[in-house]
Amino acid sequence: MRLLHTMLRVGDLDKSIAFYTDILGMKLLRRSDNEEYQYTLAFVGYGDESDSTVLELTYNWGQSDYDMGSAFGHIAIGVDDIYTVCDEISKAGGDVYRAPGPVKGGSTVIAFVRDPDGYAIELIESKG
């Protein structure tokens, strides 16, 4: 078994695709419309779905916002140079709402950003 994808409902699919591809550097792997049930799926990720876990962005036509609830926490992405990545995200208009620094009670360097729908993304600096 392996983890295939995580699905996020989004209010503006093009804006979300731009965030994940232009700002976070993922690739748009595939996109499909379902006319009958009025939704569009877009799969983004850093590698092919055959061997990488990806994100499924789901746009339900006509639905622009969702109740975020309190159960979902965040998506985590490993990065090599967290300070440079956060600087680039900020310069591109992204929301770095927790600047890079050690995790509370530890030494791992983390930061948090938000996507256009408000989903939290934890950046974790990879150890050399």
| Structure tokens given for 84 | 């440079």
Catalytic site residue 88? no
Catalytic residue among 35, 56, 122, 125: 122
Q: How many CB atoms lie within 10 A of CB 106?
A: 8
From residue 70, alpha-carbon distances to 16, 90, 116, 119, 120 in Å are: 21, 26, 18, 11, 12
Helix (H) or strand (E) holding 82, with range, is: helix 82-91
Closest to 123 in 3D by CA, of 79, 81, 90:
79
Closest to 55 in 3D by CA, of 64, 46, 63, 68:
46
Q: Which residues are catalytic?
A: 122
